[in-house]
Amino acid sequence: MDYAEHYQTVSTDLPGHSLSWLQALRTRANIDFSTSGFPSPREEEWRYTNITPIEKKRFTPKVSAGDPSAAAELIQHHRLDDTWSLVFVDGVYSAGHSRLTGLPESIQILPISEALERYPEKVHTMLQQAADCETHGFIAFNTAYFRDGAFIVIPDKQVPERPIQLLHVSTQAEGLSVLRHLISLGIHAQATVIETYVGEKETACLTAAVTEIDLAANAHLDHYKLQNESDRTFHFGGIYSDQKASARFRQNHAAFGGLMARTEIHSHLGQAAECDLDGLFLASGRRHLDTHTILRHHGAHAVSRESYRGIASERGRGVFSGRIVVDPQAQKTDAEMNNRNLLLSDDAEIDSKPQLEIHADDVKCAHGVTVGQLSAESIFYLQSRGIDEASARNMLTFAFANEMVEKIRHDGHRQQVRDALLANLPQTDVRGDWL
């Protein structure tokens, strides 16, 4: 399907079509996309992920929310208690399932389709500040096609009393969900945002979600993402953050679902900023799960920590590509990257590519990567304690993954991720009471 050509038929149905600046931005993005197309393995950053299967299918966006009753059970199961929530069904905001009761007037949490009507100048200021269409075709595609998403503005020194959940549910066969989330935290503001992506079983669809984050000086954001869509879903997610002086960004990414899924987490670190990235992927069956990170240290005295773990079984394939870039003026940078991977079958594959690009001379940077199988010594040790071999393997696999789950600070989301992990582990008889 020629999406660039199809754009001409849907552009007037997209939110904000009456805003000249947005129309110009969308048109330019569509031109960029028509020129570049979707990324290909010929590009170095995409060498391990071939998205040709996406290009061979025709995905159609849902024009209106319609009756989201088909998603009611999934929404009920995955919506977290004690949160403000924005719910999107097949890429369209569902007011009836969202919960914003008790939201302070000073804090803005609303769908971007509504924000374009109420606060168009604010949206104009925030859009495309952290994510550039020229980076690759998926971002240009998202900018041209996004139909909805979240608009979150936390003013200076404000700390919402509840986390904010962005829950996306896919139900439409061959559906196309394009979401753009904009998050801005003022000086000394703090917040927790949780993105959850789930879908009906056997639903084949494409989700393209871009999150842009602007953190003012001394702002602090905890951001979580769970990608647990059906095993026939294609997913592209991009999380792009701009950290001003002394801002802190914590991000935890869990990827268990999708036939092919890639999530990018990029951040630009200013003076004395701090960034902590943690992640876990489980590529079972024939899943292809790709995690790509870039941390650019632009200001001096910034600190970053990355820790990712991957598990691949059966014919699954996992990819981790992490890059730390230290600009010439970013003296006193302190950066570490660690990637550990576990292969559970002979046909499974994990590609890991850590990179350091250092242009300053007074820095402390390190990276490490391992790809291996379960330790025979550890299995033997558990067997010597009366545990059968199968249970020993299950316990070690679960423990390897659960270390990353334990890093999640929000209790409800941590339990949700652990439940998803247990449901997706290839072994049977993996028990949650092993904690």
- Write the pLDDT tens digit of every residue in 145-177: 999 999 999 999 999 999 999 999 999 888 999
Q: How do the domains of the chain map onto residue ranges?
A: 1-216+230-244, 270-373, 374-435
Q: CA 31, 32, 37: angle at the middle one, nearest 5?
A: 105
Element (H, E) at 233: none
Q: CA 230, 236, 241: angle at the middle one, nearest 5?
A: 130
Task: Work out the average pLDDT over 58-80.
Answer: 78
| Mean pLDDT value across the chain | 92
> Distance between CA 178 and CA 332 in Å, rounded?
40
- The encoded tokens of residue 423 equal 């449901």
Beta strand 84-89 pairing with 92-93: antiparallel
Question: Range with the lowest mean pLDDT among 137-141, 144-148, 366-370, 383-387?
Answer: 383-387
Instruction: Dump the DSSP string for 236-304.
Output: EEEEEEEE-TT-EEEEEEEE---SEEEEEEEEEE-TT-EEEEEEEEEE-TT-EEEEEEEEEE-STT-EE
Please choose, from the candidates 377, 373, 353, 357, the residue with its C-alpha nearest in 3D space to the C-alpha of residue 365.
357
Higher pLDDT, residue 312 or 376 = 312
What's the pLDDT tens digit per position in 294-325? 999 999 999 999 999 999 999 999 999 999 99
Please choose, from the candidates 280, 244, 261, the residue with its C-alpha nearest in 3D space to the C-alpha of residue 403.
280
What's the pLDDT tens digit per position in 100-141? 999 999 999 999 999 999 999 999 999 988 887 667 899 999
Q: What is the pLDDT of residue 55?
A: 85
What's the pLDDT tens digit per position in 172-194? 888 999 999 999 999 999 999 99
Question: pTM (2 decimals)?
Answer: 0.94
> Distance between CA 288 and CA 201 in Å, rounded?
17
The answer on pLDDT for 434 being more than 60 is: no
The answer on pLDDT for 65 being more than 50 is: yes
> Distance between CA 375 and CA 393 in Å, rounded?
9
Higher pLDDT, residue 293 or 433 = 293
pLDDT category of residue 99 using cuts at 50, 70 and 90: very high
Q: What percent of the chain has pLDDT over 70?
A: 94
- The encoded tokens of residue 71 equal 């998603």
> Distance between CA 138 and CA 239 in Å, rounded?
13
Q: What is the pLDDT of residue 433?
A: 61
